[in-house]
């Protein structure tokens, strides 16, 4: 059974860079059939796609966050990572990693990590 | 950006009754539409993709329909575990989610 697990600091100071890692187990991160994505959810609010990466390193970012986001992949460790720079309190929320189907374009998100809460505060 | 609008914001339904949730896209997304269920404190769970295909392990009481800009998620007979928040998501133009519909016990 595929499992994804987010890890990283739960508290980040304003203006600093948020860094999270997602570790994939029970399956291959190098499958040609999937992307790997990051999604966030502010407290009590809805879901926002941050970006996705293919095992080859090709990336796709939400245009509204693109200037602050970097997603990378390490296939040898079965991990992919998120960096979000210049954070503010508005970036506080639960961050999820997920597997994403690959068709002609980005697809649905069929396996999700449990999520990790990141608070931006001094 | 393709804006997804869900209605109603809250749906009050009794167990055993039928629930119908709507999702509208600001431009055509074809059948590139998914539905997710999120219970409190849990990650979202994929229910439907391709507008009408149930994901693995999803009960038959969940069904999706629609194409283009108008979509519907129907839960034929609500069970206690179905009271949750439901999100639609398009993947025709990047990815965007609706704001969610909360299905609560009447």
For residue B106, what pLDDT is reported?
A: 87
Inter-chain residue contact B36 with A114, CB threshold 8 Å? no
Q: How confident is the model over B56-89, as pLDDT tens digits?
A: 999 999 999 999 999 999 999 999 999 999 999 9
Q: Is A16 on the interface with B (CB under 8 A)?
A: no
Closest approach of chain B CAs to the CA of A16, in angstroms?
26
For residue A40, what pLDDT is reported?
A: 98
Q: Is A113 on the interface with B (CB under 8 A)?
A: yes
Bridge partners of A117, per DSSP, are A94
Unique residue bearing structure tokens 């739960």 = A10
Interface of B with A in 81-100 (CB under 8 A): 87, 89, 91-92, 94-100
Inter-chain residue contact A107 with B49, CB threshold 8 Å? yes
**Whole-number percent of chain B with pLDDT over 70:** 100
**Which residues from chain B sit within 8 angstroms of residue A63, using beta carbons?**
1, 94
Closest approach of chain A CAs to the CA of B46, in angstroms?
6
List per-residue pLDDT tens for chain A, 122 residues long.
999 999 999 999 999 999 999 999 999 999 999 999 999 999 999 999 999 999 999 999 999 999 999 999 999 999 999 999 999 999 999 999 999 999 778 999 999 999 999 999 99
| CA quadruple B94, A21, A10, A44: dihedral, nearest 10 | 30
HEC assignment per residue over chain B: CCCEEEECCEEEECCCCCEEEEEEECCCCCCCEEEEEECCCCCCEEEEECCCEECCCCCCCEEEEEECCEEEEEECCCCHHHCCEEEEEECCCCCEECCCEEEEEC
Name the token pair of A31.
Answer: 């499958």
| CA quadruple B61, B91, A8, A19: dihedral, nearest 10 | -170
**Which residues from chain A sit within 8 angstroms of residue B50, using beta carbons?**
108
Best mutation target among B95, B96, B98, B99 (most A Cβ atoms within 10 Å) is B95
For residue A103, what pLDDT is reported?
A: 79
Of B64, B83, B85, give the one whose Cα is nearest residue B13: B83
Computed over every residue of chain B, the mean pLDDT equals 97
**Which residues from chain A sit within 8 angstroms of residue B36, using beta carbons?**
47, 109
Inter-chain residue contact A112 with B100, CB threshold 8 Å? no
Inter-chain residue contact B92 with A101, CB threshold 8 Å? no
For residue A85, what pLDDT is reported?
A: 98
Closest approach of chain B CAs to the CA of A41, in angstroms?
10
pLDDT bin (cut points 50, 70, 90) of residue B43 is: very high
């Amino acid at each position: 059974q595929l499992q994804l697990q987010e890890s990283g600091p739960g508290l980040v100071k304003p203006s600093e860079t948020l860094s999270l890692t997602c570790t994939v187990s029970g399956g291959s991160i190098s499958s040609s059939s999937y992307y790997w994505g990051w999604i966030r959810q502010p407290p009590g609010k809805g879901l926002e796609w941050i970006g996705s990466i293919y095992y080859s390193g090709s990336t796709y970012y939400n245009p509204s966050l693109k200037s602050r986001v970097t997603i990378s992949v390490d296939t040898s460790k079965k991990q992919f990572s998120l960096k979000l720079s210049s954070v503010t309190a508005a970036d506080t929320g639960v961050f999820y990693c997920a597997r994403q189907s690959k068709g002609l374009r980005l697809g649905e998100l069929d396996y999700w990590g449990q999520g990790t809460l990141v608070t931006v505060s001094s | 950006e393709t804006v997804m609008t869900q209605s109603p914001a809250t749906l009050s339904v009794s167990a055993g009754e039928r629930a119908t949730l709507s999702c509208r896209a600001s431009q055509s997304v074809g059948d590139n539409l998914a539905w997710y269920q999120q219970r409190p404190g849990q990650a979202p769970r994929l229910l439907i993709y391709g507008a009408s295909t149930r994901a693995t392990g999803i009960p038959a009481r969940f069904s999706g329909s629609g194409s283009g800009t108008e979509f519907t998620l129907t839960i034929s007979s609500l069970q206690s575990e179905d009271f949750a928040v439901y999100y639609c998501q398009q993947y025709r133009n990047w990815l965007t989610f609706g704001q969610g519909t909360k299905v609560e016990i009447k």
